């Protein structure tokens, strides 16, 4: 019970308790710090009293390289942008939650408990989203909410749990044919449509078809594909206004591709933003609102609409440099290359989704909630492969 409690609490802290509007900003920031403190405290306890991890950590080197890249980027924040180290250390605090990957290895929580926790957080995302959608323009959430593309676009923390729950539901349905798992997957589709995220919808649709075609669990492939066509038709008629609006936006952006804000933003972060040649290697570090560097980044957002979070891997590179990108891509490569056990094959699809949207969406490797979610998924790979090896040895 203690293991599950620690995991749930850290996840809630990484989500900053969903950033509710009735929670003061100071308390919201403190919540994230508490989560980091809990991770470090329990890591120290385990290092003192139980320092041995009983199974192989397949991503240990990559996680340490990610943290090293974060550390090195601080020097460009200082020498290239004049931001004192003390501000950068605090501003990049969310990156320290990569240590959660190691804490999970010490705690060794049950993998099926973790999968259930993922689904519970996806359901919480769904409920909070619908409440905010229904009461807009009143706000229960302090994050980004806008009336756009014929819908109300709400960007809640915890997106990785939502997507993971989709692929868990999909594969559980293949295995059991129980409708409750289709309900979980359907819940995610509703959110993607209401959010107006074209890349996400396209990626989920593509990966769903691929999962049916290549999955051993999906035995009646023709039936599943036919059901997808029926579901797509139903979705179109239910959300016709939103979908037509998305098509119209896509056509407009195709005609004006040279002026697309993402293209302009990516070009800026890769060229004019770089203060010196070393920044192309080490990145520029995380900006702080307490320093001139942070005020400058905010100016780029307000004046030009240039957000590092909108250009995926390019934004990540501009912050943390080439070492971080290499470590991140190596994790993707390892996930895609490994033959995962059937009960966690959904993890491959979660990372495939992230990879397909790696240049056009927010990078989950640099968001506090995404880092915690990815740590859980990487741990599931480690523990599952360990259990599979034991089972093979015993047989």
**pLDDT tens for each residue of 350-374:** 999 999 888 777 788 998 999 999 9
Reported in sequence order, the residue ranges of the chain that DSSP labels E, i.e. its strands, are 145-148, 151-154
pLDDT tens per residue across span 299-346: 998 888 888 888 889 999 999 999 999 999 999 999 999 888 888 999
pLDDT band for 247, please (50, 70, 90 cuts).
low
pLDDT, residue 238, reads: 65
pLDDT, residue 245, reads: 66
* Burial class for 259, CB neighbours closer than 10 Å (0-12, 13-18, 19+): exposed
| Domain ranges, ordered by start, for the chain | 2-394
Is residue 269 over pLDDT 50?
yes
Return the biggest CA–CA distance within the chain.
64
E strand or H helix that includes residue 202: helix 198-214
pTM of the model: 0.90
* Burial class for 150, CB neighbours closer than 10 Å (0-12, 13-18, 19+): middle
Is residue 171 over pLDDT 50?
yes
Tell me what percent of the residues of the chain surpass a pLDDT of 70.
Answer: 91
Alpha-carbon distances, residue 74 vs 64, 264, 366 (angstroms): 16, 26, 15
């Amino acid at each position: 019970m203690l293991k599950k409690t620690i995991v749930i609490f850290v996840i809630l802290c990484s989500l900053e308790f969903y950033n509710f509007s009735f929670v003061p900003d100071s308390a919201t920031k403190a919540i994230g710090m508490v989560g980091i403190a809990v991770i470090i405290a329990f890591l120290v306890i385990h290092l003192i009293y139980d320092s041995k991890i009983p199974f192989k950590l397949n991503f240990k080197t990559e996680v340490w390289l990610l943290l090293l890249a974060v550390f090195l980027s601080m020097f460009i924040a200082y020498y290239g942008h004049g931001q004192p180290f003390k501000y950068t250390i605090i501003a990049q605090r969310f990156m320290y939650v990569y240590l959660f990957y190691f804490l999970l290895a010490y705690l060794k929580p049950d993998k099926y408990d973790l999968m259930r926790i993922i689904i519970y957080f996806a359901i919480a995302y769904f409920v909070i989203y619908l409440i905010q959608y229904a009461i807009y323009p009143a706000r229960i959430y302090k994050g980004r909410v806008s009336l756009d593309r014929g819908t109300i676009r709400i960007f809640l923390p915890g997106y990785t749990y939502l997507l993971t729950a989709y692929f868990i539901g999909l594969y559980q349905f293949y295995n059991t044919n129980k409708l409750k798992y289709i309900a979980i997957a359907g819940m995610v589709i509703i959110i993607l449509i209401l959010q107006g995220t074209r890349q996400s919808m396209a990626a989920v649709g593509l990966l769903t078809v691929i999962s049916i075609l290549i999955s051993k669990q999906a035995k009646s492939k023709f039936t599943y594909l036919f059901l997808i066509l029926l579901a797509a038709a139903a979705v179109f008629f239910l959300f016709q206004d939103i979908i037509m609006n998305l098509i119209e936006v896509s056509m407009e952006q195709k005609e004006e591709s040279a002026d697309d804000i993402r293209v302009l933003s990516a070009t800026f972060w890769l060229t004019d933003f770089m203060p010196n040649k070393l920044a192309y290697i080490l990145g520029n570090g995380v900006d702080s609102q307490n320093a001139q560097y942070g005020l400058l980044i905010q100016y780029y957002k307000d004046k030009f609409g240039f957000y590092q979070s909108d250009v995926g891997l390019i934004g990540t590179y501009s912050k943390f440099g080439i070492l971080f990108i290499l470590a991140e891509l190596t994790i993707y490569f390892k996930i895609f290359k490994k033959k995962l056990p059937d009960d966690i094959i959904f993890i491959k699809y979660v990372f495939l989704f992230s990879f397909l949207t790696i240049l056009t969406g927010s990078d989950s490797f640099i968001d506090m909630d995404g880092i915690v979610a990815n740590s859980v998924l990487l741990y599931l790979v480690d523990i599952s492969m360990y259990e599979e090896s034991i089972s093979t040895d015993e047989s």
